[in-house]
Amino acid sequence: DTSWLGWRWCFFIGVPFALAGIVLLQRTLKLPTVRRQVRIDWLGAFLIVAGVCALLIWTSLAGNSFDWASWQTAALVTTGLVLLIAAVFVEQRAAEPIIPLDIFRNRTVTLTTLASFFVGIAMFAGTVFLSQYFQISLGKSPTVAGLMSLPLIGGLLVSSTIAGQIISATGKWKVYLIAGAVVMTAGLGLLSTIDADTHFGLLSVYMAFMGIGVGMLMQNLVLAAQNDVPAHELGAATSVLSFFRSLGGTIGTSVLGAILANRVAAEMTKGLAESGLPAAGGGHGSAVPDMTKLPEPMKQIVEHAYGVATGDLFLIATPFAFLGLLAVLFIKEKPLKTTSGMERLAAEEAAEGAAAATVPAPRSAADDGVQDTTPGGVGLRKD
């Protein structure tokens, strides 16, 4: 909204906050320094990133730059899968893998990773497409559109804070995962009913529902995984969940964006035909129209098209939230640990040391009950 600044300041304005975060961490976070010989898994990191990027390029461009069923799709999908399969073989043999595959043998980690993937789809779909809906269907400026998303962010903030405090006090966490998944699914279902004429008060309630659900789920999924892995795997478990949540958001945004573009094009073609306006430039493609330059009849058609398409988008996203609920239901609740990661690691290392110190010595013939036939022996058997 400020021509004298430009869009790049959307990023520059975050730099002071990032610097403040660095200063805060340096002054307050005190961790022991452990120096050891490490082996960085360069090949595994390259294969994972390259494979995921190939699939993300496919989901971003398919439906816009080329058809979903095309040779480009076949090439990108094949390349991505081959690279990821190669990454699995490399990770199985790496001394210190980027993603230790053994971690997925843990049922809790596997289920929370799946749930995080679906939470990412819901969270990113809500923030990206609702902002676009506010600007196009409701005719709001980018600044106002950002402020209109506060019910979503507020619900997320309040629910994550309150649920975290209750979990800390009671040690019970699964009920909040289930409740969060149910509320998130309900919120997406309610958002699927919106159109260009939906009142903002009602829309705020729907956004708050989704925010409350995501807030109860997002961080507590990480808590459940951290609670169920050995201390030396805390970093791996946390990063895996964060990675798949971001991956779900990226893939979900790309796929849902392609669906939105096609749905908008269909609605605009229908609206133009009903109004008798020429169909040339009727909105095909994924570019966001500049509403200030559209004549009033066309503006109304575009607003209606984006309103209907956004509602359909959330309807498509709802089953993914339900899949997240199913994943949460199968997580087994275990007592919440009351010690920090460093304390757990010290206890585990002490236990390993004690176990190594109590390894029994090699058994002798006398220990096995064999008669003593050595000179001077008493000739007795051990019962």
Same domain, 199 and 277: yes
Same domain, 194 and 316: yes
pLDDT, tens only, 66-95: 888 899 999 999 999 999 999 999 999 988
Q: How far apart are CA 190 and CA 184, in angstroms?
A: 10
C-beta pairs of 164-173 under 8 Å, 24+ apart in sequence:
164/219, 164/220, 167/220, 167/223, 167/336, 171/335, 171/336, 171/338, 172/333, 172/336, 173/220, 173/223, 173/224, 173/227, 173/333, 173/336
Predicted TM-score of the model (pTM): 0.81
pLDDT, tens only, 290-346: 666 777 778 888 888 888 899 999 999 999 999 999 999 999 998 888 777 777 777
Q: How far apart are CA 66 and CA 61, in angstroms?
A: 7
Same domain, 292 and 156: yes
Burial class (CB in 10 A: 0-12, 13-18, 19+), 355: exposed
Paired with 66 in beta bridges are: 62
Residue 125 lies in a domain: yes
Residue 233 lies in a domain: yes
Same domain, 78 and 140: no
Residue 28 lies in a domain: no
Region 187-201: mean pLDDT is 91
Same domain, 124 and 265: yes
pLDDT at position 377, please?
43
Same domain, 202 and 301: yes
Cβ contact 176:224 at 8 Å: no
Eight-class DSSP state of 193: T
Domain holding 43, by residue range, is 39-99
Q: How far apart are CA 269 and CA 248, in angstroms?
A: 31
Q: H or E segment at 336?
A: none
Paired with 62 in beta bridges are: 66
Same domain, 208 and 227: yes
Same domain, 46 and 122: no
Residue 205 lies in a domain: yes
Same domain, 166 and 304: yes
Residue 116 lies in a domain: yes
* DSSP letter for each residue of 155-192: HHHHHHHHHHHHHHHH---HHHHHHHHHHHHHHHHHHT
pLDDT, tens only, 89-126: 999 998 888 888 888 989 999 999 999 999 888 888 77
Q: How far apart are CA 313 and CA 188, in angstroms?
A: 9
Q: How far apart are CA 135 and CA 107, in angstroms?
A: 43
**Assigned token pair, 161:** 């804070």
What CATH number is associated with residue 193? 1.20.1250.20
* Helical H segments across 5-70, by residue range: 9-12, 15-28, 42-61
pLDDT at position 233, please?
85
Same domain, 274 and 316: yes
Residue 343 lies in a domain: no
Same domain, 94 and 224: no
Same domain, 79 and 201: no
For 172, phi then psi, to 5°, come to -100, 130
Q: Given 73, 99, 125, which residue is the final one in a domain?
A: 99
Residue 273 lies in a domain: yes
Residue 164 lies in a domain: yes
Domain count for the chain, please give it: 2
